[in-house]
Structure 1
Amino acid sequence: MTPLDKIRNFSIIAHIDHGKSTLADRLIQRTGGLTEREMSAQVLDNMDIEKERGITIKAQTVRLDWKGHVLNLMDTPGHVDFAYEVSRSLAACEGALLVVDAAQGVEAQTLANVYQSIEHDHEIVPVINKIDLPAAEPEKVRKEIEDVIGLDASNAILASAKSGIGIDEILDAIVERIPAPKGDASQPLKAMLVDSWYDPYLGVVILVRVMAGVLRKGAEIAFMAGGTKHLVDRVGCFRPKIEQLTELGPGEIGFITAQIKEVAQTAVGDTITDAKKPAAEALPGFKLVQPVVFCGLFPVDAADFDKLRESISRLRLNDASFTFEMESSAALGFGFRCGFLGLLHLEIIQERLTREYDLDLITTAPSVVYKIQLAHDRGEIELHNPADMPDPSKIASIEEPWIEAVIYCPDEYLGSILKLCQDRRGVQKNLTYVGGRAQVTYDLPLNEVVFDFYDRLKSISRGYASFDYHQIGYREGDLVKMSIMVNAEPVDALSMIVHRGTAESRGRGMCERLKDLIPRHLFKIPIQAAIGGKVIARETIAAMRKDVTAKCYGGDASRKKKLLEKQKEGKKRMREYGSVSIPQEAFIAALRMGDEN
Structure 2
Amino acid sequence: MKENIRNFCIIAHVDHGKSTLADRLLQITGTISDRDMVNQVLDSMDLEREKGVTIKSSAVRMNYQAADGNTYELNLIDTPGHVDFNYEVSRALAACEGALLVVDATQGIEAQTLANLYLALESDLVIIPVINKIDLPSAIPDEVAEELNNLLGIPADEIPRISAKEGINIDQVLEKVVKLVPPPTGDDSMPTRALIFDSIYDSYKGVIAYIRVRDGIISQNTNLRLMATNTDLKPVEIGIFSPEMKPVQRLSAGEVGYIATGLKTVRECRVGDTITTAEKSAPEMLPGYKKAKPMVFAGIYPVEGEDYDDLRDALEKLQLNDASLDYQPETSQALNFGFRCGFLGLFHMEIIQERLEREYNLDIVVTAPSVEYQVLLNNGSKIFIDSPVQLPDEGLINEIYEPWMHLQIFSPTEYYGTIMELIRKRRGIFIGQDYPAPDRVQLNFEIPLAEIIVNFFDELKSRTKGYASMDYQIADYRPGNLVKVEVLVGGEAVDALATIVHKEDAYHKGQLLVTKLKALIPRQLFEVPIQASASGRVISRANVKALRKDVLSKCYGGDITRKKKLLEKQKRGKKRMKMVGNVEIPQEAFMAILQLDDE
- The answer to whether the superposition gives a TM-score over 0.5 is yes
User: How far apart are the structure 1 equivalents of 2:192 and 2:425?
Assistant: 53
Q: Establish whether residue 166 from structure 1 lines up as the match of residue 169 from structure 2.
A: yes
Please list every run of 5 or more consecutive structure 2 residues that lacks an aligned counterpart in the other structure: 66-70
Which residue number in structure 2 is paired with residue 33 of structure 1? 31
Contact kept? 2:201, 2:320, Cα under 8 Å: yes
Q: How is 1:30-429 mapped onto 2 (pairs within 5 angstroms)?
A: 30-67=28-65, 68-148=71-151, 152-377=155-380, 379-429=381-431
Which residue number in structure 1 is paired with residue 20 of structure 2? 22
User: How far apart are the structure 2 equivalents of 1:254 and 1:416?
Assistant: 48
Stretch deviating more after TM superposition (451-460 or 150-159): 150-159
Q: Secondary structure at the match of 2:290?
A: coil
Deviations 1:330-382 (A, max 9, x none): 111111111111111101011001000000110001001101111122x1111
User: How far apart are the structure 2 equivalents of 1:152 and 1:72?
Assistant: 27
Q: Secondary structure at the match of 1:219?
A: coil
> How far off is 1:550 after superposition?
5.4
Deviations 1:200-254 (A, max 9, x none): 2322111111111111111001111110100123111111122221111111111
User: How far apart are the structure 2 equivalents of 1:202 and 1:547?
Assistant: 69
> How far off is 1:181 after superposition?
1.0
Q: Which of the numbers 7, 10, 14 marks the counterpart of 1:12?
A: 10
Q: Secondary structure at the match of 2:243?
A: coil
Paired letter, 1:578: G
Q: Which of the numbers 502, 505, 510 marks the counterpart of 2:505?
A: 502
Paired letter, 1:427: I
Deviations 1:477-510 (A, max 9, x none): 0111111100110001111111111112211121
Q: Which of the numbers 531, 538, 543 marks the counterpart of 1:540?
A: 543
Paired letter, 2:60: V
Q: Establish whether residue 445 from structure 1 lines up as the match of residue 448 from structure 2.
A: yes
Paired letter, 1:513: K
Deviations 1:134-192 (A, max 9, x none): 01111100111233455554411111100111111100000001111111111110111
User: How far apart are the structure 1 equivalents of 2:82 and 2:292?
Assistant: 15
Pair 394,501 (structure 1): closer, same or farther in 2 beyond 3 Å: same
Contact kept? 1:188, 1:212, Cα under 8 Å: yes
Contact kept? 2:513, 2:593, Cα under 8 Å: no
Which residue number in structure 2 is paired with residue 575 of structure 1? 578
Pair 261,577 (structure 1): closer, same or farther in 2 beyond 3 Å: closer
**When the two structures are superposed, what TM-score results if normalisation uses the length of structure 1?**
0.96
Pair 149,475 (structure 1): closer, same or farther in 2 beyond 3 Å: farther
Contact kept? 2:512, 2:596, Cα under 8 Å: no
Paired letter, 2:530: I
**When the two structures are superposed, what TM-score results if normalisation uses the length of structure 2?**
0.96
> How far off is 1:391 after superposition?
0.8
Aligned length: 593
> How far off is 1:586 after superposition?
3.6
Q: Which of the numbers 512, 517, 520 marks the counterpart of 1:514?
A: 517
User: How far apart are the structure 1 equivalents of 2:179 and 2:38?
Assistant: 29
User: How far apart are the structure 1 equivalents of 2:529 and 2:248?
Assistant: 70
Contact kept? 2:455, 2:594, Cα under 8 Å: no
Pair 183,376 (structure 1): closer, same or farther in 2 beyond 3 Å: same
Paired letter, 1:19: G
Paired letter, 1:17: D
Deviations 1:84-132 (A, max 9, x none): 1111110110110000000000000000000010011111011000111
> How far off is 1:513 after superposition?
1.1
Deviations 1:552-588 (A, max 9, x none): 67788776656555544443343333232223x3435
Contact kept? 1:530, 1:537, Cα under 8 Å: yes
Contact kept? 1:427, 1:442, Cα under 8 Å: yes
User: How far apart are the structure 2 equivalents of 1:173 and 1:449?
Assistant: 40
Paired letter, 1:11: C
User: How far apart are the structure 2 equivalents of 1:60 and 1:312?
Assistant: 22
User: How far apart are the structure 1 equivalents of 2:390 and 2:12?
Assistant: 41
Q: Secondary structure at the match of 2:298?
A: strand
Pair 473,120 (structure 1): closer, same or farther in 2 beyond 3 Å: same
> How far off is 1:416 after superposition?
2.3
Paired letter, 2:209: I
Q: Establish whether residue 458 from structure 1 lines up as the match of residue 461 from structure 2.
A: yes
Paired letter, 2:336: G
Contact kept? 2:201, 2:265, Cα under 8 Å: yes
Paired letter, 1:60: S
Paired letter, 2:382: E
User: How far apart are the structure 2 equivalents of 1:168 and 1:86?
Assistant: 26
Paired letter, 2:350: E
Please list every run of 5 or more consecutive structure 1 residues that lacks an aligned counterpart in the other structure: none
Contact kept? 2:375, 2:399, Cα under 8 Å: yes
Pair 591,423 (structure 1): closer, same or farther in 2 beyond 3 Å: closer
Paired letter, 1:446: L
Which residue number in structure 2 is paired with residue 430 of structure 1? 432
Paired letter, 1:286: Y
Q: Secondary structure at the match of 1:451?
A: coil
Contact kept? 2:368, 2:590, Cα under 8 Å: no
Identity of aligned pairs, percent? 50
